[in-house]
Amino acid sequence: MSLADYETELLGVPGVSRVRAAWDILDGTPGVVLRVLLESGRESEYEEVRDAILSFQRCRGSDRFALRVEQATLRQVFLDLRFAFDPALIEADVAAAITALLAPMDDPTSDRGGVFALSARQIGGKEYASRIEGRVQAIPGVTWARAFGFGLLAATPAGTLPEDLTLPSAPRPRQAVVTPAPAELLQLHSAHLTLVSAPPDPGGPCA
């Protein structure tokens, strides 16, 4: 089986929402590490899911390589974004379009292909401030965008809601690239998103 085959097969296991397969050295020999993110509310079922995956490997898979299953977790980021827009538009509508594109995990209007949409991200995947800016600037009516604060929040302790995490004091740092641990998947919550509109461009003397 290829790594892609592992990922495709395991997405069919009940409770599994995302999978990332990678080669690694296990006990001195090449093996496959499967990092598995469970659906929200089913995190306590990890041992059952792990045992099912290992049984699948022994009984149905090729079982040619050592296999290790790790539980993946969500890692929250903060984002402070300043944007400018066509003054003919309504600011609230532009802000709503930006929010939908950024896809906070708690926003039902989020774009399924948005920046932080669960289905659009990979476990261990990085995110770049410049990529966020570029995607926001592609929204019709947005003239420019700048992430002036971007970074990781502390890991969420078990039983803690994302919105209860403490934001760093403003002004917050801006990291050009945010890199989670290999078994973490980046997510954004509305409580950690700040949108600030820039003053309209006054234009030149002939505007």
CB burial of residue 82 (10 Å; 0-12, 13-18, 19+)? middle
- Residue 62 predicted with pLDDT over 70: no
CB burial of residue 204 (10 Å; 0-12, 13-18, 19+)? exposed
The pLDDT confidence band at residue 189, using thresholds 50, 70 and 90, is: very high
Q: Which of 41-50, 86-95, 149-158 has the lowest mean pLDDT?
A: 41-50
- Residue 200 predicted with pLDDT over 70: no
Q: Give the pLDDT confidence score for residue 150 in this predicted structure.
A: 98
- Residue 112 predicted with pLDDT over 50: yes
- Contacts (Cβ under 8 Å, ≥6 apart) of 136: 81, 83, 98, 101, 102, 142, 145
Position with higher pLDDT, 146 vs 21: 146
Percent of the chain residues past pLDDT 90, beyond the cut: 59
In the structure encoding, which two tokens stand for residue 54, read together?
């290992």
- Of these ranges, 67-71, 118-122, 134-138, 163-167, the one predicted with the greatest mean pLDDT is 134-138
In the structure encoding, which two tokens stand for residue 58, read together?
């022994």
In the structure encoding, which two tokens stand for residue 2, read together?
């290829």
* Measured distance between the N- and C-terminal CA atoms of the chain, rounded to whole angstroms: 63
Read off the DSSP letter of residue 169: P
pLDDT tens profile 7-45? 888 888 888 989 998 998 887 888 889 999 998 888 888
State the Cα–Cα distance between residues 160 and 93, nearest whole angstrom: 32
- Contacts (Cβ under 8 Å, ≥6 apart) of 110: 99, 100, 102, 103, 104, 117
Query: pTM to 2 decimals?
Result: 0.85
Q: Give the pLDDT confidence score for residue 61 in this predicted structure.
A: 57
Domains of the chain, first to last: 3-71 (3.30.300.30), 74-197 (no CATH)
The pLDDT confidence band at residue 51, using thresholds 50, 70 and 90, is: confident
Q: Give the pLDDT confidence score for residue 206 in this predicted structure.
A: 46
Query: How confident is the model over 47-63, as a mean pLDDT?
Result: 74
